[in-house]
A and B are shown apart, each in its own frame.
Chain A
């Protein structure tokens, strides 16, 4: 039976069908967009067809990171299951779908309802993106077993989460959320550009591209600020972004030294905007958001973990989510974490080729582990006991008590190899990594 995989983000859905050989996922905007230019409405995957992206008006299924607009979501999902994308019969398929951290129980019920009542999937598994990371290769090192204590930093569209994971289970009491994500950064850049240069308030699509093309995380904020101040027109940081010309269908781009401008070209100058925008992840107080920055929040999260294991968490920090693609993100985080970590702790940060699709790739491996079938809720189980079936089976933040109990219990034989390995590993945790266990590790990606 095929398994449909949806890493269902608030900005994009990373979607695919699990086969033996892994392929890159389709990246589908999780939005319904209305173009003011051609007056057409584009759903999800159709947005790629839209040529007139000036004043695209978005309707997003997610609000502040949570799924609230099911009509818009169904419109996007229908497109994905239709022959325009995968053409898959959901009634004879399994589904793995991701949900936000701390998803609300009443919203989770609606996920169940759509999966089983509207699409009639054979079975499904619902989990957070970070919970899949242990099955992937983000932390993999040649000749070393998977790390038992890791911290996943997921910096996405709606917010940034710090997610410690111990033996494959999220330690929910230490999960922390920074209310800064890609959406806020794009909106901040919109505001700055509009105030300082051109009115870009309706140009979400364009400004998002400006952000992705020009912005970086500064590793020396003070110095960069002075550089931009000294000569705002000519300095090593300033860039010119040539706004798209919709009349000739030319896309926007960063101006290169050999670019000759025409009379109609409009330039958006990116000076300190290049780094003061992503800076908000490290300094939310710059816009009055009273939250500690990313590094301090990571340190706080680790401080909530068992003290004898904290050193292992400091040494296993991994980055996922679109904001991890900003140049300088890792280096800035590293330098700040090194000042916050205890002197005897080594700080190690892991990165991957594509932080946007890492959770998808890890989930792909998870689906291919022999134990996957034991984690799903089946349509029959849902028919029998409704959402109780998923409440019982999916280990999310509400399962903390049962997890505690499990940690205390001595390992006992279980049907599934992975479970067995995990519970045994609990007793093996030490500051150094233990010798390889027979975890059903996914094959290496690269």
Chain B
């Protein structure tokens, strides 16, 4: 299917509320949400209903579900349970049927309780940058020397400012 013009996707109706800067924590939340979105395997437009198996982010906590790996007809040599499609052990069955999120697994692993100088996933993250972040225009990517008074996203000139105001500006409190 041919790609469609995109602007409509992000367009938001002009909102007549008075100009009010978003609180720092709201902006931090917005950044966090954006970073989470960049982690996703698929994008689904807001308000689109995700259907069953396809909803990667939609699995309930430890909820049993339909498996896909046992629905295939493959010829694997040998006598393993995978080859014979039987005798799957309890351990394997559990892993197949109950999917846990990474957050749940980290919790369950108790790596947070290891001695403070032990290296773990939780302690291996790169240190914060020593410099203040540079600002790039959120519309065109050029230097963003100005910040939106409402939502503090950066822009470079009047042209990008108006595109920002029409499309991306977070006028509403989230």
Contact = CB atoms under 8 A, between A and B. Distances in A.
Interface of A: 32, 34, 36-37, 41, 43, 54-55, 57-60, 63-64, 66, 68-72, 74-75, 77-79, 81-84, 87-92, 101-102, 104-107, 110, 113-114, 117-120, 161, 172-173, 175-179, 183-184, 187-188, 190-204, 225, 228-229, 243, 246, 266, 271-273, 276, 283-293, 296-297, 300, 397, 400
B25 to A, nearest CB: 14
29 contacts: A36-B1, A59-B54, A68-B101, A70-B92, A71-B67, A71-B68, A74-B82, A78-B74, A87-B77, A90-B78, A90-B80, A90-B82, A91-B78, A104-B109, A110-B91, A113-B92, A113-B95, A117-B81, A193-B6, A194-B9, A198-B3, A198-B5, A201-B43, A204-B42, A228-B141, A285-B133, A287-B35, A287-B38, A297-B126
Interface centre among A70, A84, A118, A187, by most B CB within 10 Å? A118
A194 B38 contact: no
Contacts of B97: 71
A104 B92 contact: no
Nearest to B141: A272
A114 B95 contact: yes
Interface residues of B, number: 75
Chain B interface main SS type: loop
A400 B118 contact: yes
Contact of B99 (A43, A60, A71, A203): A71
B126 A397 contact: no
A201 B125 CA distance: 29
B134 A283 contact: yes
Contact of B129 (A37, A202, A271, A290): A290
Given A74-B96, A105-B111, 10 more contacts: A78-B82, A84-B75, A102-B119, A105-B109, A113-B91, A194-B9, A288-B34, A290-B129, A297-B126, A300-B126
B89 A117 contact: yes
A106 B124 CA distance: 18
Contact of A83 (B34, B39, B75, B128): B75
B61 interface: no
Nearest 8 Cβ contacts at the A-B interface: A89-B78, A285-B133, A288-B31, A82-B74, A198-B3, A199-B6, A102-B121, A75-B69
A284 B35 CA distance: 11
B113 interface: no
Nearest to B129: A292
Interface of B: 1-6, 9-10, 31, 34-35, 37-43, 45, 53-54, 56, 67-69, 72, 74-83, 88-89, 91-92, 95-97, 99-102, 105-106, 108-109, 111, 117-121, 124-131, 133-134, 136, 139-143, 167-168
A41 B88 CA distance: 24
A92 B167 CA distance: 60
A292 B126 contact: yes
Contacts of B72: 43, 75, 78-79
A204 B52 CA distance: 20
